[in-house]
Structure 1
Amino acid sequence: MSSFPDYYAILGVSQKSSTEEIRQAYKKESLKTHPDRLTKATPAEKKQATEKFQAVADAYYVLSDPTRRREYDSLYVSQSRRSQDPNASSNFFSQFANMFASAAGAGAGEAGTPPPGQRPDAEGVFTDVFEELLRPEVERRVPWWTYLGAVSGAGIGFIIANIPGLLLGGVAGNRLGAIRDAKGKSVAAVFSQLGGNQKAEILRALAMKVLGSAL
């Protein structure tokens, strides 16, 4: 391996940074490098952005988990040549990712968690961390079943027990309808199905919110 990936430098944090500081740094760097923001980019530019985005995801995947971070740090201190080149991260995962197998238990169920020996899925890591930011932008379901349930329940309740029944039926129907509404698609699924321009608009809005700039 010609160089060792400097994941601290890639995220712009120090070795003493807390997990929350690493999380916040990942939000900023992933928004800066997300390839879907480049709607007018050439294939070469899109490829370069995708590689940078993947390297940022690699860095967050490694540094956000205490076990993976300790294993990475044990190598970090012994490497004299460190690089922010995305290729360094790719080479690192191709040769050393099996060392993270011991952290698989801690990361079980994480979005973007790969099988031992493989790189994390960058989009999976992104949608996991940005769940709370993406939801207001891409999950705009109208609660039709909540409304319909309330009306239907109220009607049935009124037939059975007049006004008291109407009130109880309306509340019960509302709650049952809300459960049906809650079974809509996840943020990740909705976001992945959007067109390129729609994704770019959402990412620009998130950049304004997180970075204070659309870059």
Structure 2
Amino acid sequence: MASFPDYYKLLSVQQNATIEEIRTAYKKESLKTHPDRLVNATPEEKKAATERFQAVADAYYVLSDSTRRKEYDILYSTRRPQERTTDPGASYNFFSTFTNMFGNQGGSGAESATGATAADRPDADHVFADVFEELLRPEVERHAPWWAWLGAICGAGIGFIIANIPGLMFGMYAGNRLGAIRDAKGKSVAAVFTQLGGDQKAQILRALAAKVFGVASGSF
């Protein structure tokens, strides 16, 4: 293989970086490269961003697991600096060439030009989903349970009309529970995010990026 993916450079971390440093770096790089931020991008720009986003996910997938990282580091040490690259294509070739390296732990199953199957390559959206949930959890937990409260009030009113005080208590409880279900939606935050429109996704990703980088969302 002519070029070798430098996952440390892709995440902008040192080779001795801790797991927490790698995770923090992934948050930043995934938010910078997420293709859904490019609402008005050309097909070529979208394709390039998607490839970069996948390569960043590949880097996190490999370096965040001690076993995968150890196996990667053995190969990394055999490559000269000029053979290491941050080109997303090198990451694809890496998974295609070393298809059995990580014990078939799941991936896209995409095929390379040579016919090799990148069976172990991670799904970038799935990798991002866990971090996205973590990033949004404070905002989600901060939201007031509007439907639960509204349900309790409405249920209490209907219950009082039907059976006075006992009806009020029962109606309040039933309304609160029904409202709580509406609040929860029965879906993860990441699942709800995938169903949003492009503009909404871009706004959320920019806001998260601004929070992570501590700068205005339009400054990078």
Shorter-normalised TM-score: what interval? 0.7 to 0.9
1:212 aligns with 2:214: yes
Structure 2 residue aligned with 1:114: 107
1:38-76 residue CA offsets vs partner (Å, 9 max, x unmatched): 122211111111111110000001111111111111211
Q: CA deviation at 1:148?
A: 2.0
Q: CA deviation at 1:125?
A: 1.0
Q: 2:197 and 2:175 mapped to 1: Cα distance?
A: 36
Partner secondary structure for residue 199 of structure 2? helix
Structure 2 residue aligned with 1:152: 155
1:73-94 residue CA offsets vs partner (Å, 9 max, x unmatched): 1211112221111000000011
Structure 1 residue aligned with 2:7: 7
Q: 1:36 and 1:70 mapped to 2: Cα distance?
A: 32
Q: 1:115 and 1:199 mapped to 2: Cα distance?
A: 23
Structure 2 residue aligned with 1:107: none
Q: 1:209 and 1:203 mapped to 2: Cα distance?
A: 10
Structure 1 residue aligned with 2:94: 92
The amino acid that maps onto 1:54 is: Q
Q: Where does 1:17-96 land on structure 2 (aligned, <5 Å)? A: 17-80=17-80, 81-96=83-98
Q: Is the 8 A contact 1:149 1:177 kept in 2?
A: yes
The amino acid that maps onto 2:4 is: F
1:200 aligns with 2:193: no
Unpaired stretches in structure 2, ≥5 consecutive residues: 110-118
State which drifts further: 191-200 or 139-148. 139-148
| Identity rate, percent | 62
Given the superposition, is the C-alpha separation of residues 157 and 74 from structure 1 closer, same or farther in structure 2, using an over 3 Å criterion? farther
Q: 2:102 and 2:136 mapped to 1: Cα distance?
A: 29
Q: CA deviation at 1:177?
A: 4.7
Q: 2:201 and 2:182 mapped to 1: Cα distance?
A: 27
The amino acid that maps onto 1:114 is: G
Cα RMSD of the aligned pairs, angstroms, is 3.0
Q: CA deviation at 1:166?
A: 5.4
State which drifts further: 204-213 or 20-29. 204-213
The amino acid that maps onto 1:68 is: R
1:126 aligns with 2:128: yes
Given the superposition, is the C-alpha separation of residues 7 and 174 from structure 1 closer, same or farther in structure 2, using an over 3 Å criterion? same
Unpaired stretches in structure 1, ≥5 consecutive residues: 105-112
Q: Where does 1:145-184 land on structure 2 (aligned, <5 Å)? A: 145=148, 147-148=150-151, 152=155, 162=165, 170=172, 174-175=176-177, 177-179=179-181, 181-184=183-186
Number of corresponding residues: 204
The amino acid that maps onto 1:144 is: W
What TM-score comes out, normalization by structure 2 length?
Answer: 0.78
Given the superposition, is the C-alpha separation of residues 176 and 130 from structure 1 closer, same or farther in structure 2, using an over 3 Å criterion? same
